[in-house]
Amino acid sequence: MEILKVPFDQFPQFSKRDIAYYTEDKRLAPFYKYPVNIDSFKKVMEDKAQDNLHRELLFEVLTEQYSNIENNGGVKENINKLLSKNTFTLITAHQPSLFTGPLYYIFKIISVINLAKTLGKQYPDYQFIPVFITGGEDHDFEEVNHLQLFNKTLTWESGESGSVGMMKTSSLKTVLTELKEILGDSDHAQKMYAIIEKAHTQNEKYSDATIELTHELFKDEGLVILNMNHPKLKKEFVPIIKAEILNQVSHDIVNQTIEALDKVGFGAQASPREINFFYLRDQVRERIVFEEGRFKILNTEIEFSGSEIEIEIENHPERFSPNVIMRPLFQELILPNLAYIGGGGELAYWLERKAQFEHFGINFPMLIRRNSAMWVDKGAIKKMEKFGLSIADLASEIEGLIKTYVKRNSEGELSLKTEKESLEVIFKDIAEKTKNIDLSLVKTVWAEHAKQIKSLNNLENRLMRTEKQKQETSIKQIRGLKEKLFPGNGLTERKENFLQYYVRYGDTFFDVLKEHLHPLEKGFVVIKDV
């Protein structure tokens, strides 16, 4: 394998805020607490140690959640370490996507695992545990119920509503059958299908299946997986749930930060609502709103008075599910966490949270951009070499890329730039002479100039079209190469699933990623299978 590190700003696929944070743009400095470097972690540990952490409770919940998982690898040891005050976590998170969903699900996890290893070497007196939080409470089913595999789409129709994590795995039988057929009969395919099938047939709830699958992939790395939808963890969150629902404090705080971000050129990522909680029951996860002096659950007949909902929060905190505005507070409240590792979109909403964390007296973690990566196979490499194209070239807009290629490989000159410049000089002379005779004719001169330039532009376009026809075969191949490496002008990490790589490379796929995905190292990681 050949590894390249390409600067983020060479990829238009990343947002301007993503690039700004990754390149340490000073405009964003007021919106985060710690600079992203290994030396900053000493200060993060000092600050996080001041938080009121209930390690015993966390240990109890994790032990319970892992009680039905066989072969814990190094995970059980890491859970035990969480009881120690010199142990801290590093977190990444994702919704429970179908069979892990997009590639970056895997990239996130390997990023956080490698960061824990790096910090362990730098700070040997401390212990660092990689943690993956699976969003078992989410109900964005359309976002997680499908995946792309070998240019085919697998879609899960559960027939249920409410929290995705609470859905039954029995409705996945058809999808599993389709998956087996697509993967084929190779040794790698059979090995991974067996893991997926076991996780999704021996667990009744989808959240548990997701945890088991992810555990099987990364148990040897000691990855701790946490489903925060637990009554005992929610009990710790009760004071903040009450403050948010009864007093609606986050709305103004976060909006003020959003306004400040807008002033320096960055728009809102996740705008807060007046109440940033859902009400969670079987088959129900609906927003809580305050209308006509009552707290109402949308799309249901459930409603509460102020005193009634306060009692409900006390007695059943598990029924109150945080949205994207409140979820970061919840995880940082219950975990001894130092850093959150996420993609550009995730860090964008974290950048709106610093003042909110300060209000609730919870330390704001370091925000680290996860690794982004691309795996380029031998066939694609040969075509890139044939056409003289780099990854950065292919990341650019396709029509501009083709035009540049056609010009570079044309036997004749396609640009009439020199001729247009000469025409400009001629018409300037004509305008000067005209001005001395009749000033009113100058506009006529430049109008004629515009007509001539338009004619030259049309001729230039005709030359380009003719040349494109001559190079039609190469152009089709370039378009195909572009679509393969940047599907829909996006990134493969957002489109493809890890299975199509595992079927080909087996465990080597994970080994290469573990060797080269380090979130404190800058650059888009390009893995070339030479």
The dihedrals phi and psi of 161, each to the nearest 5 degrees, come to: -130, 180
Could you read off the pLDDT tens digit of each residue along the chain, which spans 530 residues? 899 999 999 999 999 999 999 999 999 999 999 999 999 999 999 999 999 899 999 999 999 999 888 767 789 999 999 999 999 999 999 989 999 999 999 999 999 999 999 999 999 999 999 999 987 676 678 888 999 999 899 999 988 888 888 899 999 999 999 999 999 999 999 999 999 999 999 999 999 999 999 999 999 999 999 999 899 999 999 999 999 999 999 999 999 999 999 999 998 888 899 999 999 988 788 999 999 999 999 999 999 999 999 999 999 999 999 999 999 999 999 999 999 999 999 999 999 999 999 999 999 999 999 999 999 999 999 999 999 999 999 999 999 998 888 888 776 666 678 888 888 899 999 998 898 888 888 889 899 899 988 888 888 778 667 777 777 888 899 999 999 999 999 999 999 999 999 999 999 999 999 999 999 999 999 999 98
Three-class secondary structure of residue 229 per DSSP: coil
CA distance 464 to 407: 8
- pLDDT value, residue 414: 64
CA distance 21 to 326: 22
What is the DSSP code string of 245-299? Answer: III-HHHHHHHHHHHHHHHTT---SSPPPSS-EEEEETTEEEEEEEETTEEEETT
Cβ contact 305:295 at 8 Å: yes
Closest CA to 61 of 112, 126, 113, 136: 136
CA distance 103 to 200: 20
CA distance 125 to 165: 37
Name the strand (E) or helix (H) holding 480: helix 472-485
